[in-house]
Amino acid sequence: MWGGLVNDSRSRARALMAYSHPADYKGISQQEEKMIKRHLAFLYALKASLRRKQDGLYEKYLCEDERNQVKAFTNIPNAILDIQARELQLLQDMNYIDGFKFLHLNGVLTNFTDGMGKSERINNTVFPTTYVYFTRLFIWMLVILVTMALSSELGPSSIFLGWIIGFVFHTTHINGMSLMNPFEFIPSGVPLDSITRTIEINLLEGLGEKFVPAPIAPERGGEYIL
């Protein structure tokens, strides 16, 4: 889903810079720049929402009036998309884009909404507590039964062997638990920081910005990236 957001972000920025200004205009208009930077605000707001970590990074790509508007909403990323939709309608009213270009750009906005909704559904899915309880219970039952079965042959060493077998299943269970929340700020989570920064770099370079942030560096000597 976030791979789709990367592709759609690049496509939309390219379309805005190429199609959404008067025919005799050369370069990038202020309105195009605002819409592209507002999209970066959407990505940062969505990342913060999924990680339940409101860092306010999205605010630097919004003007003061827009910041005040979105803060009145519980779903800030969706509020930013609402502003984008109004701006897109304004471009059509000003005859900067025709009906076909409007449908294309609006379709990409719909894709952003779909990606946001799918991510939120995954993030808000609650696994039943019985799933965790019974999985742990069965692991302990396995450890006890294996130890008892091997005690007559191995004696006290069966305790160590039973612990090793239980450790393998328990570690697998822990890995499964971490995958239940893929957007958390943990090494095994989806690298939202890296993905968002990659889009940010691509879009700012397309706008010709002089100051472009560096890519997110891997942690612990390249073991993982956040």
DSSP string, 188-224: TS--HHHHHHHHHHHHHHHHT-S--PPPPPPBTTTTB
Residues in the chain: 226
pLDDT at 113 (0 to 100): 94
Report how far Cα 57 is from the mean position of its chain's Cα atoms. 14
Provide the token pair at 125.
Answer: 């899915």
For tokens 């009213």, name the residue.
93
Nearest to 13 by CA among 202, 193, 211: 202
* 117: number of Cβ within 10 Å: 12
Burial 13-41 (b: 16+ CB within 10 A, else e): bebbbebbbeeeeeebbebbebbbbbbbb
pLDDT at 24 (0 to 100): 65
pLDDT at 159 (0 to 100): 86
- Cβ 166 vs Cβ 139: under 8 Å: yes
Instruction: Say how far apart CA 191 and CA 212 lie, in whole Å.
Output: 20
Instruction: Say how far apart CA 171 and CA 152 lie, in whole Å.
Output: 27
pLDDT at 99 (0 to 100): 87
Residue type, 111: N
Verdict on whether the full-model pTM lies above 0.85: no
Q: pLDDT means per 10 residues in the chain (226 residues)?
A: 89 87 72 92 94 88 93 93 93 87 91 93 80 86 88 84 88 81 83 93 91 87 78
pLDDT at 47 (0 to 100): 94
